[in-house]
Amino acid sequence: MSRYRLLVLGALALAVLVAVAARPRSRAAAPAVAETSEGRPEQAVAIAIEGASIRPARTVTPKGSLVTVTVENRDRTPRRLALLGYERQVAPVVVAPGGSASLRFTADRPGEDFAWLVDDRPAGVFAVTGSHLVEGHR
C-alpha cells in the first residue's frame, strides 16, 4: 500500500511542476526601475529583433524615466529599428546581423501605443505609463 501512496504523491508533484512550468508569462517586459542622481527614474530595457518582430512584443516604462534600450539583432540580415512617436529623441539605427546597439532617451510622452518599427513596419509596442495631466493644470 505504501508503494501506491508514493506513486500517487510522485504523480501529484509532477502535475504541480507541469502546471507551474506551463503558466502563461506576462506579455509586457517591465524591467526594474532605478533612480538617477537627480532622483529621476532610470530603466534598462533589452529587446531582440527576430524576423519582423520584437521580443518581448511589449515593453513598459514609467513616464519621465531615462531609458537605455539595448537591442540585439538575431537575424541574418541587417535590420533598421526606429521608435514611432519618439523620432525627435531616438534616431533610427541599423543593427548588423548578430550585432547590438544602444538607444538612450527620456520617456516623456505617456501612451500605450508607441510602435517599435523594424524596417519601417510595426514590430512591437513601447508603452509609457503615467498621466499626461499635471496636478493643477486644466
Task: Spell out the SS3 assignment of 35-77.
Answer: ECCCCCEEEEEEEEEECCEEECCEEEEECCCEEEEEEEECCCC
The residue extents of the domains of the chain are 28-129
Contact 57, 124 (CB under 8 A): yes
Torsion angle defined by CA atoms of residues 23, 28, 31 and 32, in that order, rounded to the nearest 10 degrees = -80
Contact 81, 50 (CB under 8 A): no
Task: Report, at the CATH architecture level, how domain 28-129 is classified.
Answer: Sandwich (2.60)
Give the pLDDT of the chain (138 residues) as one tens digit per residue.
577 676 666 665 555 555 555 554 444 444 455 555 566 789 999 999 998 899 999 999 999 999 999 999 999 999 999 999 999 999 999 999 999 999 999 999 999 989 999 999 999 999 999 865 555 444
The span from the CA of 23 to the CA of 66, in Å, is 32
